[in-house]
Amino acid sequence: MSDAYDPPQEPLQILHSDHEIVVVDKPAGLLSVPGRGAHLADCLLARVQAVFPEALLVHRLDRDTSGVMVFALTAPAQRNLGLQFERRKTRKTYVARVAGRLEPRSGTVELPLIVDWPNRPRQKVCFETGKPALTEWRVQRREEGETRVKLMPKTGRSHQLRVHMAELGHPILGDPFYAEGAARDWPRMMLHSEELRIHHPDGGAGTSFRAPAPF
């Protein structure tokens, strides 16, 4: 995967919109928010704001991750959703394809994470200074040389799923930071945010939004 920023130009995929929120399916390769420099200005936030000028950021996905993201359309909705993420009231489900045969059928990874400063934005496991990070996983199917797995993060650390899978010895295919050799040589990172469950900021009803994995 190239380090040059060449985001996809496909049309914005809107999954849901109402008076408080808009939910979209982010393509892989597109930044969630602008980076430093004019060449990194194109991002999902800017594209959403081109259609919904009042849209406000709530959370992020890594550039190379695709899938469901929610934006707020009012300041109260942004505060409400932000607290849900902060207090772990949301439920997130990802689909990934990882290298090798992941055993057993399900499990849990609990390894504390912190930024690897000399190599940022990479993250690393550190039992002294890392922040708690917990991921549950469940195998969907195994194929030759790889495993398709559902990932349910219970915390929201940067690169959490990517580091946890790599630490198990099964890096996510196409991961430009944590995969090596043949496991890295894929056209995209095989990680997708498939489903997000939130409490709607207007009334608190539990609501799920889903976008099937494109791989």
The residues annotated as belonging to the active site are: 62
Contact 147, 170 (CB under 8 A): yes
For 40-76, the three-class secondary structure string (H helix, E strand, C coil) is HCCCHHHHHHHHCCCCECCCCCCCCCEEEEEEECCHH
Structure tokens that stand for 170 in this block:
């099964």
For 38, half-sphere exposure in the C-beta direction (CA atoms, 13 angstrom radius) is 0
